[in-house]
Amino acid sequence: MDKEFEITHTQEEWQERLSKEEYHVLREKGTERAFTGAYWNHKAPGNYLCAGCGNELFGSDTKYESGTGWPSFWAPLTPDAIGTETDYAFGMARVEVHCSRCGGHLGHVFSDGPKPTGQRYCLNSVSLEFEPES
């Protein structure tokens, strides 16, 4: 990753801190298989945090069932919680979503979501941790 983020580690440090699957998704921009992650069908109230650094990203109040098999949200908790950049992998242009604090890859955002934003933040469960509402 070329950008400067608040939380940085060497490749070796990330490999020590993250599981193999977390490293693949967060640091190598991988994707978990649909309908396999812990949060695609998760409905408890609370917040979703970056599994790499604990940054608060999305709230359960903006989570919805998109039918894709991945956790989907129509808005982040705050606009500066995430960053985006165009991803040209697989011969098409998509908008990648990453954690604004550590740069970890979270998934992609599409403009086919529900109102009020029309956005579908389609994320990998493995890139997230869940903090239940207290």
Question: For residue 67, what is the enclosing H or E element?
Answer: none
**What are the tokens at 33?**
């298989």
Tell me if 81 sits within 8 A of 102, measured CB to CB. no
Distances from the Cα of 118 to the Cαs of 26, 97, 101, in angstroms? 25, 16, 25
Residues 6 or more apart whose CB falls under 8 angstroms from that of 96 comprise 29, 84, 85, 86, 87, 105, 107, 108
The catalytic position among 53, 99, 102, 122 is: 122
Distance CA 111, CA 109 (A): 7
Answer yes or no: 122 catalytic: yes
Distance CA 111, CA 72 (A): 12
Active site residues: 122
